[in-house]
A and B are shown apart, each in its own frame.
Chain A
C-alpha cells in the first residue's frame, strides 16, 4: 500500500527563520514520483517540485531546497529565511509512474510571523 505521512500538523516560525517540513512515504514500487504542493489561503494547490525515484540529487530553488533520501523514504522540504508570504499549507504527494493515483499527505500548516 502507498502512504504519505506528514507528521507536523502545524509549524509556527518567526520571519527569517529556516524551517523544514517533513515527509515520509511508503511504497512497494521501485519507480515513483514525489511532489510538493503549496496551498495558500486562496485555495489553489500550487505545484512546487517533482522528484523521480531514480534521482536522489537534492535540489535548490531560491530559498527552497528539497532533501530526498531513499534509504529513509523521506522527501523533506526546507525554506530558508522564511517570509510571511510562505504562510500556507504544504502537501507532499506520491505517485506511481504511469498511473492516475496521487497519494497526498495530510498537509503541514506553516505560519510565518512577522
Chain B
C-alpha cells in the first residue's frame, strides 16, 4: 500500500452535482490535511484534522464539507461547486507530537473540473 491514497484521480462534475473525494493514509499519522492547488497560485490549506477533530478551517466556502471518520480516512464532500473551484485537490498526512513535525506526505491528488 502506498502512503497516502486519493480517489478518484480525475473528476468532472456539473455545478449541481454532489460528489466526494476520498483520502486514506497508511502511515499511522495523527493529522490529515486538504490542500487546494490552482494554476499559478500557491498551495492553499483548506482543512486540518488532528485525531479526527478539525483544528484548522481556512475560510473555506461551505460548498466544501470535510469529514474525518477516523485517523486514517478523510473525505471532502462537494456540492454546488463553481467553475473557479476547478483545481488539483491534494490530501496529506503528518505526525505531530510535542514539538516534532514529520514532513507532510501527499497523495497523488484529485484533478477536479467543474463544468
CB pair B104 A47 closer than 8 Å: yes
**Chain B neighbourhood of A99, CB < 8 A:** 96, 101
Interface size on A, residues (CB 8 A): 24
Q: Does A43 contact B (CB under 8 A)?
A: yes
- Chain A nearest Cβ from B94, distance in angstroms: 8
Complex interface: chain B residues within 8 A of A100 (CB)? 31, 33, 48, 50, 55-56, 94, 96
Stretch from B12-20, B60-68, B76-84, B107-115 at the A interface: B107-115
Write out the residue numbers on chain A whose beta carbons fall within 8 Å of the beta carbon of B48.
100
A-facing mask of B22-54, CB < 8 A → 1, else 0?
000000000101000000011101001010000
A-B contact count (CB 8 A): 57
Known: A91-B43, A101-B45, A101-B56. A43 touches B103 (CB 8 A): no
If over half of B's interface residues share one DSSP class (helix, strand or loop), that class is named, otherwise mixed; here it is strand
With an 8 Å Cβ cutoff, the count of chain B residues facing the other chain is 27
The reply to whether A31 and B99 form a contact with Cβ atoms under 8 Å apart is yes
In the complex, 20 of the A-B residue pairs with CB atoms within 8 angstroms, ordered by the A residue number, are A33-B101, A35-B103, A35-B104, A37-B104, A44-B106, A44-B108, A45-B92, A45-B106, A46-B106, A47-B103, A47-B104, A47-B106, A95-B101, A98-B99, A98-B101, A100-B33, A100-B50, A100-B55, A101-B45, A101-B56
